[in-house]
Chains A and B, each alone.
Chain A
Amino acid sequence: MKFTIAQPALLNVLQTASKAVAVRTTKQVLTGILLQAEAGRLIATAYDLELGIRVEVPADDVNMLSVQEPGAIVLSARYLADVVRKLPNREVSVGVGSNYMTEIRCGEVEFHLHGIDAAEFPLLPVFQSSQSLQVTSEHVRELVRATAFASATSEVRPILTGVHVELGTGRLQFTATDGLRLATRWIGSAEAGESAWNVIIPSKSLVELAKILPDDDVPVQLYVSDSHSLFVVGTTHFYTRLIEGTYPDTTRIIPSTHRTEVAIDADLMADAVDRAALIARDRENHMVRFEISGTSIQVSSSSSEIGNVSERIQANRMEGDDLSIAFNARYVLEALRALAADEVVLQFNGPNQPFTIRESGAENGLQLISPILWR
């Protein structure tokens, strides 16, 4: 293998790919980045067995890529990225010699790094075009932001550490739950009518994906196979492994009726709950109480060790029965943050039933939270 490329272009590729390099592993090849030089393009791949990133660079006038000899090599991500970062901003030449010894040359600088046979690198799957869907990066970011935080962090029920991604009935829907709260969000999709599928993608991988998506609104192609999902953004391929199993049916726990409905300014409510949470301790499940009486809501919290707090806020609108309910402040704050709306609508079914929070006037998802039972 032998190619030349401008230093900033090579560094950029390595930095994107290196987000998927394995940190703690006994498999040495996974601590490296796979570089493949083919006619007119360079491909860098990293894969920690859960998350894979493959970046492709087609030759152009800016990156000055020129492939003299096609081939592939795996180089230690840590050293490769450091080496390239510290090279001068000039043309870099990379060539593999015997025994996978790789020469990196830039001006008068010459590094030799021990490489690993590219054949040892796990092959990322090739996707059939049958199960694919086009969305936008803005939508993906929105779907992940509104749901991934609600997935479980403990491995007690491994399936809940993922986000349930469903296509069907005219929409693409993301759902996550840890058993005590649930977040779901959907977007309409014209392609959803044609096929239906559902997969469980690890939340951690989706959060990483949201981080590397470009800030401007670009098309994202989503593919799924039996073992992986793939998000293609431009020339960057983002692979995640799927979680094994069947996601629990969450439609049954979302209430279809309500006895109390409150519309309130989201910031007003978030600020009040945030203040009350100062007294609500971790040991007491961050318990904050709402006493709803007409449009007036008393927000309070007390701790035998620290003291207590109470505050009265005004709802914009209230229908149905008065109510007293206690909840985990952390869950409510995270849900409000995920909704990012000016006004939210809360629907309750008494103090012992889960309640929902939705964006006012939008039909795009909801946050469901179990109350804390208290006398």
Chain B
Amino acid sequence: MNTSEAGATRRVAPLSEWPIQTDLLGRLREDIASGRVPHAMLFVGEASQNRRFVNFLSQLLLCTGEPAPCGRCAACAQFESGNHPDLYVLDREGTAVKTGQVEALQERLKLRAHAGGRVVYVVHGVDEMTPVAANRLLKTLEEPWPSVIALLTAGSVRRVLPTVRSRCFLFPLPQAGSAPWDDAMPEERGAEPEGDPWFASLIEPVIQWTEILLKGAEPAVILADRLVRAAEDAEFSDVLYVLAMWLRDLMHTSAGDSRHIRFGEYRAQLKEQSSMTNVAELAKAVAVVLETRVRTRSHVAATLNAERMCVRLQEVFASVYGHRRPL
């Protein structure tokens, strides 16, 4: 295992803005900031988590602005359009990444970086590769050029070829829902599909709704109606689950804890909304939402249930509204 000594020190986004935070990733962040980037990293976790994190890290490593990833430089623009010339992503074709894909990658990796900086390659599912393909990859891992960085992902570290594993820095990624403060996923959901988690389409309406709630500009009946409508395609209990998660993120932000944030990508909103209230009120609000969610299982009309919740939430946030108390 090697680390690149060539890189210069640079400003890197704080850990709170990373999509996943662990102590080990905190140390990785420090290493990257001081220019010591490991040549090969293996991320072990569930597929969607791996994908989300590796995507973030590739952009961070290729970004030429500050703090990385800046989202504004040319490299970030190329990354976001899927056209960065020095990023190679090998995804499974059929059941796993094939030998032919690895060979095509190696043909590219022999070339100097297009932009003269780093070359990043991602190989998804190294635990599912055939031994032939994994061994072929080994050659590239064994003799890395200083500018080339490998990001590998796996579902299970035990199934990764030991020779591949031994050449990588290992980063276990926590399962979504495994942190002590987190609930289990709604039972009826089963396994998450790859890519976006199921709540991706819900979070933004929920954030907007919370803002309206905190501003206290609308009466409870209309608020309730908005929430039910926001979730036309989704189960109401899922909307409540996402709402509870969002309120809890606000609570953590309010308490100054940036490590256990689920929706770190909405930093601006987290900051703004958490500044309008306080930890105690948010804790009460989470309890109200979760109680409402339990009530969805009994035979209570959804609208009625939502209205009742809105009235109670407005009671909780009474101090936030001050004299502007809604009807």
Seen from chain A, the residues whose Cβ lies within 8 Å of a Cβ on chain B are 24, 26-30, 49-50, 117, 119-123, 125, 155, 158-159, 161, 202, 226-228, 241-245
Q: Are B83 and A227 in contact (CB under 8 A)?
A: no
Interface string of B97-111 (1 = CB under 8 A from A): 000000110111111
Residues of A within 8 A of B104 (CB): 24
Task: For the complex, give the distance between the alpha carbons of A358 and B310 in Å.
Answer: 92
**Minimum CB distance partner of B113 in chain A:** A227
Binds A, one of B40-48, B74-82, B229-237, B255-263: B74-82
Q: Nearest residue in A to B110 (C-beta to C-beta)?
A: A158
Q: Are A27 and B82 neighbours in the complex by a CB distance under 8 Å?
A: yes
Task: Return A204 CB to nearest CB of chain B, in Å.
Answer: 10
Q: List 5 A-B contacts (CB under 8 A).
A: A26-B82, A49-B108, A122-B114, A227-B113, A244-B112
Is B85 part of the binding interface, using a Cβ–Cβ cutoff of 8 Å?
A: yes
Contact at B112–A226, with CB atoms within 8 Å?
Answer: yes
Neighbouring B residues of A245 by C-beta, 8 Å: 110, 145
A241 touches B114 (CB 8 A): yes
> Contact check: which of B83, B109, B115 meets A30 at CB < 8 Å?
B83
For B105, give the chain A residue with the smallest CB separation. Answer: A155
6 smallest beta-carbon distances between A and B, as pairs:
A158-B110, A122-B85, A241-B111, A29-B83, A120-B81, A227-B112
Chain B contacts for A159, CB-based, 8 A: 110
- Do A49 and B110 touch across chains, with their CB atoms under 8 A apart? no
Q: What is the bound-complex CA distance between A29 and B87, given in angstroms?
A: 14
Chain B's nearest CB lies how many Å from the CB of A248?
15
> Which residue of chain A is the closest to B136 with respect to CB atoms?
A155
Classify chain B: how many residues form its interface, as a range: 20 to 34
Residue B322 at the chain A interface, CB threshold 8 Å: no
Q: Which residues of B contact A227 (CB under 8 A)?
A: 112-116
Point out residues on B near A: beta carbons under 8 Å: 74, 77-78, 81-83, 85, 89, 103-104, 106-116, 145, 147
Q: B81 touching A29 by the CB < 8 A rule?
A: yes
Q: Which residues of A contact B89 (CB under 8 A)?
A: 26
Complex CA distance for A335 and B82, rounded to whole angstroms:
44
Contact between A202 and B81 (Cβ–Cβ < 8 Å)?
Answer: no
CB < 8 Å: which of B74, B103, B116 contacts A226? B116
- Given A155-B107, A241-B111, answer yes or no on A117-B116 (Cβ-Cβ < 8 Å): no
A29 to B81, CA, bound (A): 9
Contact A242 B111 (CB under 8 A): yes
Q: Given A26-B89, A227-B116, A244-B145, is A122 in contact with B110 using a C-beta cutoff of 8 Å?
A: no
Closest Cβ of chain A to B199, distance in Å, is 28
In the bound complex, how far is the Cα of B147 from the Cα of A28, in angstroms? 25
The chain B residue sitting closest to A199, CB to CB, is: B112
**Given the complex, which residues of A lie within 8 Å of B77, measured CB to CB?**
119-120
Q: Shortest distance in angstroms between A151's beta carbon and chain B's nearest beta carbon?
A: 12
- B110–A161 touching, CB < 8 Å: yes
Q: Are A202 and B83 in contact (CB under 8 A)?
A: no
The residues of B that contact A24 with a CB separation of less than 8 Å are: 104
Complex CA distance for A29 and B103, rounded to whole angstroms: 23
Q: Is the CB of B78 within 8 A of A122?
A: yes
Choose from A27, A30, A123, A243 the contact partner of B110 (Cβ within 8 Å).
Answer: A243
Q: Is the CB of B85 within 8 A of A49?
A: yes
**Chain B hits for A30, CB < 8 A:** 83
Bound together, the chains give a CA A242 to CA B83 distance in angstroms of: 20
A159 to B78, CA, bound (A): 28
Contact B78 A244 (CB under 8 A): no
What residue of chain B has the Cβ atom nearest to residue A121's Cβ? Answer: B83
CA distance A202 to B108 in the complex (A): 11
Taking CB atoms, residues of chain B closer than 8 Å to A226 are: 112, 116
Known: A29-B83, A120-B81, A158-B109. 7 other contacts (CB 8 A): A49-B111, A120-B83, A122-B85, A241-B114, A242-B112, A244-B147, A245-B110
Q: Which residue among B85, B89, B109, B115 has the maximum number of chain A CB atoms within 10 Å of its CB? A: B85
Cβ-defined contact, B110 with A117, below 8 A: no
| Residue on B nearest A30 in the bound complex, by CB | B83
The answer to whether A28 and B111 have CB atoms under 8 Å apart is no
CB–CB A49/B114 < 8 A = yes
Given contacts A30-B83, A117-B81, A245-B145, contact A155 B103 (CB under 8 A): yes
